[in-house]
Amino acid sequence: MITKLLKIVNEKYEIDKKWTWSKWSISYFEWIKDETEEVFEEMRENNSIYLEDELWDILFAYLSLLKNLEKEWKISSIENVIFRSEKKIWERISALKWKDWGLLDYWDEVKKRQKEELEREHKEKYGE
């Protein structure tokens, strides 16, 4: 399913290149902000059809932002963002399965370790 979504995002990116509104990442952040407000307006009982439609808009705007960031060389790839996201949450969820109910402390411990790994990776890549 994600492959199909990314194909659509790539096609939309090619179309958007022709329009001035989509030349920079900030345009996509604004788009996400606008769509988030629309989602908030649709969050009520017996309204799943409209809510799901608006949630799609956020997902599409987010993936479009990632595509734009990729083209601006600010991220290495959309796939890498997805990989990092999956790794990050999986480590946290997996760790919680093995702990008792002191979960918040352990969640913070995993987050701290992940932050240290990111800092190490950043230093290796950028020397900072």
- Rounded to two decimals, the pTM is 0.76
Residue type, 37: E
Give the model's pLDDT for residue 77. 93
pLDDT tens digit sequence for 100-123: 555 556 777 888 888 999 899 999
Kind and range of the H or E run holding 18: none
Q: What is the DSSP letter of 72?
A: T
- pLDDT < 70 regions, the chain: 20-23, 97-105
73: left (phi over 0), alpha (psi -120 to 50) or beta: left
What per-residue confidence (pLDDT) applies to 12?
87
Which pLDDT belongs to residue 13? 85
| pLDDT score of 105 | 67
Q: Roughly what angle, to the nearest 10 degrees, separates helices 103-126 and 78-97?
A: 150
Q: What angle do CA 38, 44, 45 make, to 5 degrees?
A: 150
Q: pLDDT digits over 15-25, tens only?
A: 888 876 666 78
Domain ranges of the chain: 1-75, 77-128
How far out from the chain centre does Cα 70 lie? 13
